[in-house]
Structure 1
Amino acid sequence: MNVYDVVAAVVDPELRVVTIADLGILRDVTVDGERVTVTITPTYSGCPAMDVIRADIRQALRSAGYADPEIVTTLRPAWSTDWITDDGRSKLAAAGIAPPGPSRGPIALTLGVRCPRCGSPNTEELSRFGSTACKALWRCRACAEPFDHVKAY
């Protein structure tokens, strides 16, 4: 397994069904001899999961034989939900978390969020703040199931 793949396989500590690569948090991995530098961008500047992500990256690289990786955090450009991969969006939906749609180009008017369980557009936002700061709590009026929705940025 190459160094990039080792880092890309690190799981997000808040959304355990996706990796940091799936979320677009992983920006770059460079190798210079035995020196590995990993660049990451948080989903927002105060994300409390970043310390855990850094520790998990260090542990994954140490397990792969890289003793002292450097982890650089960059805030520019700011992370966007557009960076979530198609695979990441599929994994979120399969886990019952409604992924945001891509926001490239004109911003589409969103009247609702489709339920990740039954697919119904008949949903309602219960709280702008969900289990983490980057998610909102929604409920499906068709199947009555609550679900998280990753907020679009």
Structure 2
Amino acid sequence: MASARDPLSSEVIALFAKITTRYSREYEAAAAQHDITPQQVKVLLALDETPLPMRRIAERVGAEPSNLTGVIDRLQARGLVERRPDPNDRRVKLLATTDDGKAAAQDLQQRLRFASDPLVALGRDQRRELRDLLRLMADS
């Protein structure tokens, strides 16, 4: 069993850090172009053409719905998203991008070249093998 002290493990850990840093920096740079936060970018990109309840957005971005309230409030204040009543349940508010929000999301997607598909250099079999190895790591 390899330890974090062996050179190969150290190199793999350093590569994880490099990938994470590249991903984060790309989100930060894209967000700065629109004067929003990386979390706000993730919310905008999580919204598709269909309005969604906050809990669905939270699932997509890996956050608690209550933690997204402020993020959504700031996006709404900027005119990028709007809250709409759910026609099936008036207790629920649906979130939707405005025209400005859709334009920002399209621009953000173009700026997030690496972050939108960090596995582009890998073939299908390589992706599957990587997935299996990461599952093994996550479950250990």
TM bracket (short chain): under 0.3
The structure whose Rg is larger is 2
- Normalising by structure 1, report the TM-score: 0.25
Larger fraction in helix: 2
- Normalising by structure 2, report the TM-score: 0.27
Larger fraction in strand: 1
